Amino acid sequence: MDVSSNNKSGSDEQMMDILLVFDKEKKTINAVKGIDENGELQTVPPKQEHNNDFLKVDKQGNALENFLKNFFSQLKDPTHFSFFKVAPEDTERTVKIIQENIKNPTPTADEMLDKIRIEPKDLKVENPKESTTQEQKPDTNKYFIDPNKINWDDLKNLGITKEQLEKSKALEPMLRGYKSPSTFPIEANFGSMVMKTDARLSFRPDSEGNVVLAIHGIRKEPELDRPFFGHQFTDEDKKNLRETGNMGRIVDVKYYRTGELVPSFISIDKQTNELVSMKASSLKLPDEIKGVKLDEKQKAALMEGKAVFLENMISAKNKPFSAFVQVNAEKRSLEFIFPEKEQKQTQQQGQQQRNDQPEGVRIPKSLAGVELSDKQQADLRADKTIYVKGLKDKEGQEYNAYVKVNHEKGKLDFYKFNPDKAKEKAKEITPANEHKTQVAVNSEGKTNEATKHTKEPLKPGQATPTGEQKKKREEKKEEQKPDKPKKSQGRKMK
């Protein structure tokens, strides 16, 4: 799990934030989706279910500033809004802070919001609005790699296509200078020799400004016995890298382009076992991580590459947790490292939960439209019978039923009587006697003489059609009567 300077975790989009927008006139807060062809702002509610619609912005230096300048230059009347750059998992919490601060402003909230506020005037946007034609031009400024300089024909020779990278959501991070989140099968033909391997991919500019594809193949183990760009690993370095994936200190690494020695962090890419370095000067530390403020001593230790143990952090699910935090050069950010004891405890808890689950039967959180309480779920796991009201059949009509785990069939059974108290009478039929006909007709498609022509779903407790349903049935029968056959006009066969 990663932690960026905005306390964001994740690997695929660890360097991305979203934009919240406050409409100064309407006093509403939404998440930015984009800009339409008329320069009007497009927004969606700031809820996690709309995460795929959120406009993602790179949080790094010049790339972020260039993107925002381009964004605001296309926006019609940008001063009409206030924008806030936040990590996706902090969205709903930040919305609440903004809402509270509108009603009851406080210096603390003002200070917090000022840190994430983005005003168009601060970016010195010269052209408030550009034409639609200009808007449709690809914005290469927001990327570390210029997409126009990629030779896709060369990549196709390796079995890699643009569509493949887009579909796997690898192209965006690669254009921002990162490796592909996952590995790809590579096949290279060298005449009499064919090389096949799985590898992570990245784009790199060469000395002439062209874009080349870097292939990060999977290694059996990290090469710790060989010098890494001029650095010879000590026994302590090797121990740290093998145990945590991070070396835990800063060393001088020879920069391959200029040959200069650059103070850097070193980590292992856990997908490929490749050694990766990161300039120490590029590390940006937050003031707090998951609700825990960092003191100067902790910041100094992190800047040196050391692991710092933080207690009582608050997760995205609002639960407290503790872990080591350390720089990971491969992820270019801080990451959480959980103590071995805590990892074992988590694994044991997960195993216990699996043991509590009846074998072969999944206990759902909801059943036929009804949310099951924690107690009801626990009772089912304990092989007890529960009574559930307001269940809905396939036609949306409500009924009640006793529910119990059937271990032999590996499913949940529904009963009209409590099977624990009346086993000799209980039958696996309809959930309750008053709903017998309703469920049979609506969910199981069964009919009797009274209901066979009824097309509408029966209501709870209903066994025969209503007067209105009978009327519709008669009308339907009348419509379905065949017309009287006409006399044949064909010629008689001789």
| pLDDT higher than 90, residue 368 | no
Cβ count near 243 (within 10 Å): 11
Cα–Cα distance measured from residue 23 to residue 29, given in angstroms and rounded to the nearest whole number: 7
pLDDT digits (tens, 9 = 90+) for 405-415: 887 777 888 88
pLDDT at 469: 60
The total domain count for the chain is 4
Extract the tokens encoding 487.
């006399």
Q: Which of 359, 369, 374 is nearest to 405 (CA)?
A: 359
**489 falls within a domain:** no
Percent of the chain predicted with pLDDT > 70? 67
112 and 63 part of one domain: yes
Amino acid at the residue 20: L
169 and 248 part of one domain: no
- For residues 113-127, give the mean pLDDT: 66
Write down the mean pLDDT value for the chain.
75
**210 falls within a domain:** yes
**35 falls within a domain:** yes
**3 falls within a domain:** no
**H or E stretch covering 366:** strand 366-367
pLDDT digits (tens, 9 = 90+) for 164-221: 999 888 898 888 888 898 888 888 777 777 778 888 999 988 777 788 888 898 888 9
Of 70, 103, 135, which closes a domain?
135
**359 falls within a domain:** no
pLDDT at 284: 84
pLDDT at 405: 85
Task: Give the confidence band of 491 by pLDDT, cuts at 50, 70, 90.
Answer: very low
336 and 374 part of one domain: no
198 and 244 part of one domain: no
- For residues 424-439, give the mean pLDDT: 50
Percent of the chain predicted with pLDDT > 90? 17
pLDDT at 83: 83
Amino acid at the residue 124: K
pLDDT at 460: 55
130 and 154 part of one domain: no
| pLDDT higher than 70, residue 233 | yes
254 and 334 part of one domain: yes
97 and 22 part of one domain: yes
249 and 329 part of one domain: yes
Query: CA 111 from chain center: how many Å?
Result: 30
124 and 173 part of one domain: no
Cα–Cα distance measured from residue 126 to residue 112, given in angstroms and rounded to the nearest whole number: 28
Q: What angle do CA 76, 82, 83 make, to 5 degrees?
A: 95
184 and 286 part of one domain: no
- Are 6 and 112 within 8 A, CB to CB? no
- pTM of this structure: 0.45
Of the ranges 260-274, 331-345, 377-391, 416-430, which one carries the lowest mean pLDDT score?
A: 416-430
**349 falls within a domain:** no
130 and 156 part of one domain: no
pLDDT digits (tens, 9 = 90+) for 4-30: 433 333 434 445 788 888 887 778 898
Integer angstrom CA distances of residue 145 from 93, 148, 150, 152, 186: 34, 9, 9, 14, 21
Cβ count near 179 (within 10 Å): 23
Q: Taking the alpha carbons of 377, 382, 388, 391 in that order, is the dihedral positive or negative?
A: positive
Residues spanned by the domain of 108:
12-135
**29 falls within a domain:** yes
**387 falls within a domain:** yes
Contacts of 463 (CB under 8 A, 6+ apart): 436, 437, 438, 450
Cα–Cα distance measured from residue 300 to residue 288, given in angstroms and rounded to the nearest whole number: 14
199 and 161 part of one domain: yes
